[in-house]
Structure 1
Amino acid sequence: MKTISILIPAYNEEEVLEQCYHRTINVIEKLVDYRFELLFVNDGSKDNTLSILKSLRMMDSRISYVNLSRNFGKEVAMIAGLDYARGDAVVLMDADLQDPPELIPELIKYWEQGYDDVYAKRRSRDGESWLKKLTSAQFYRVLQKTTRIPIQEDTGDFRLLDRRAVDALRQLRETQRYTKGMFSWIGFNKKEILFNRDPRAAGKTKWHYASLINLAIEGITSFTVAPLRLSSIVGVIVSLCAFLYMLFIIGSTLMLGNNVDGYASLMTVILFLGGLQLLSIGIIGEYLGRVFNETKRRPLYFVDEYNNEKVKEIVHLHETIH
């Protein structure tokens, strides 16, 4: 009998955890040909998330939980869950029930047909503002045009991964993580299914515009060097325009005797060029900062507790789990 792990990262989700558990259980109890593991990753929650997970585990032995030592962010929480997941396949879904557990049987059906990555693409995005939908669409459009990797548009983390896809992702230990791009980067046989994304079942979203902008920067800097090339191209164009303008000024002064305009035009050019230089330095700084973080080679996370037991071995833990 095959085992399927359902991986659910959770950060301050006390209002929705029990509802998430019951809806998921109602689905998997009908799939009698499989064993299931419900693996929750508590990402340093400050509410009662951990105590609720412990209570659920006492009622149901199929529940496992990983309690991280602090809040590391969802991207790191997912790789922590993949390190601990024991299943032949892993289903990733959010605790807020925007990813409906009722799709799990369909994910499994295509997995059994030989697909390694069965991902759910959003047909609609209820509960999200028009601004978030617009910026999301534009981000995916820019990312698609600037990278050679076919990034999946309108696709989140909700998917089923075969064990070999999970093991491939576990080898990517970079600290600056954009997992949605990594799903595409590893390749393997992929299958798309469509679904209507529901609003949150309860609680408030942890993704605000500042965190979404940071995630977008992570995605762009992780999978393309187009901003660096763009800054170089802009520099060449500005330099060429400046050279041509210089020839025009010299020619008009020597041949026509025109006076060269002074302070206003000079300040405009200086401020414009200064802005371009600062923008280029900022782009270089983003990439340099990521290189600096990667060279530290720090562990991605530390685990405080796994299934009611304090974790003592914390060095290279991911290498010894399996």
Structure 2
Amino acid sequence: MNELSDVKISLVVPVFNEEASVPLFMEAFLKASAQWPFAADVTFVNDGSSDSSLALLRYYAGEHANVHYLSFSRNFGKEVALSAGMDHAVGDAVVLMDVDLQHPFEAISQFVEVWRKDDAQMVYGVRNADNEETAMKRWTSRQFYRFFNMMAHTPLPEGGGDFRLLDRRVVDALRSLPERNRFMKGLYAWVGFKTCAVPYEQPARVAGTSSFNYWKLWNFALDGIVSFSTWPLRVWSYLGVLVAFFAFLYGGWVIFQTMVWGVSVPGYASLAVGVMFLGGMQLISIGILGEYLGRLFIESKGRPPYIVAEKQVADAPTA
């Protein structure tokens, strides 16, 4: 590998209504990059912000040659913003991070060291347990990873988020994937390559509040499960066989009672409960089929995952 002085690291930073965080991020980036032994640039991805975030990105891109940005025509979501940033990043490795400084710049030097010394193509950060997240959010996060790994064909390393370094080979592999419903944590694991974890201390947000709530996190988890597992579809086959088996046993018991003892079949209560139970199961199964069918419908349209309304970026690498 080249000497560190010949290496360039590109930071990809999604931005959505972060006018208070962008100046603080830039201050920290300029201070950190001045001490790094490698060259670094940053590509901001404005994901349809409605505040003055875009105006700030224009200003900093005009003031600094190593600062670039692209701006979407509307909000397309963080997963797409990360993909767009990788499409336009030019470094030998790409670091994905948030603009709120909860991903510390000190960890990037550790990422680069592991990438160089351990020949790892992917280095991801793992937050230490002592951070400002609520106990409920930490618990639900652990349960998601466990549930996902039980069902998915490609397991996720627990605690591995978007804060990570990707070698150029990994970036090119991710850019070659054509899907539009992009669950990035799953895609990182799917492409493979040697991967190492680096623990880091997560500080508090420097400004503003997170746009993620439990409803968005639930939909995010649902996207991940549907994108990387067919188990929700398969389970209904097993459940149908199980229900049919017990229905056969119960039917045989009713026939036996009637023929031997002349016991009449019970009335409406058991019939109503059975119909409602089976009807509920059918609706749930149809809903799961609809989730998969909806994603197939979106993929079949072939629309681009994002539309850039404005950009000031370096020459993009070829795929």
For the aligned pair, the TM-score class normalised by the smaller chain equals over 0.9
- Report which stretch shifted further, 253-262 or 212-221: 253-262
**Identity percentage over the alignment?**
43
Tell me if 1:276 matches 2:275: no
Given that 1:116 and 1:189 are in contact with CA atoms closer than 8 Å, whether structure 2 keeps it comes out as: yes
CA deviation string 1:228-269 (max 9, x = no partner):
111111111111111111111111122122222111111100
Task: Deviation per CA, 1:139-168: give whole Å up to 9, x if none.
Answer: 110111112313121111000111010000
Change (3 A) 1:150 1:267: same
1:129 maps to which residue? 134
1-structure distance, mates of 2:318, 2:212: 30
Contact kept? 1:12, 1:48, Cα under 8 Å = yes
SS at match of 1:211: helix
2-structure distance, mates of 1:271, 1:198: 50
Does the CA contact (< 8 Å) of 1:6 and 1:91 recur in 2? Answer: yes
Check whether the contact 1:119–1:190 (CA below 8 A) recurs between aligned residues.
yes
1:61 paired residue among 58, 65, 74: 65
Which amino acid in structure 2 is aligned with residue 234 of structure 1?
L
Gaps of 5+ in 1: 310-316
The residue number in structure 2 matching 1:191 is: 196
Aligned partner of residue 124 in structure 1, secondary structure? coil
Query: Deviation at 1:196?
Result: 2.6
8 Å Cα contact 2:43-2:313 kept in structure 1? no
CA contact (8 A) 1:50 1:67 kept: yes
Counterpart of 2:296, as a letter, is V
Alignment TM-score, normalising by the size of structure 2 = 0.94
**Match of 1:119?**
124
Kept in 2: contact 1:127–1:200 (CA 8 A): no
Aligned length, in residue pairs: 313
Q: How much has 1:110 moved relative to structure 2?
A: 1.0
Change (3 A) 1:51 1:136: same
Q: Aligned ranges for residues 200-279 of structure 1 at < 5 Å? A: 200-279=205-284
One-letter amino acid of the structure 1 residue matched with residue 60 of structure 2: L
- Note the C-alpha offset of 1:308: 8.7
| Backbone CA RMSD of aligned residues | 1.7
Specify whether residues 19 and 175 from structure 1 end up closer, same or farther in structure 2 by C-alpha distance, changes over 3 A only. Answer: same
Give every structure 1 segment of 4 or more consecutive aligned residues whose post-TM-superposition deviation is greater than 4 Å. none
2: CA distance between counterparts of 1:97 and 1:176?
Answer: 27
Task: Give the letter aligned to residue 176 of structure 1.
Answer: N
Structure 2 unaligned segments of length 5 or more: list them. Answer: 1-5
Deviation at 1:321, TM superposition (A): 5.9
Matches within 5 A, 1:136-175: 136-175=141-180
Q: Give the aligned residue type for 1:46.
A: S
* Matched position secondary structure for 2:129: strand
1:44-55 pair list within 5 angstroms: 44-55=48-59
Which residue of the partner structure matches residue 314 of structure 1? none
Please report how far the alpha carbon of residue 211 of structure 1 lies from its aligned counterpart in structure 2 after TM superposition: 1.2
SS in 1 for 2:227: helix
Maintained 8 Å contact 1:173/1:300: no
Match of 2:100 in 1: 96
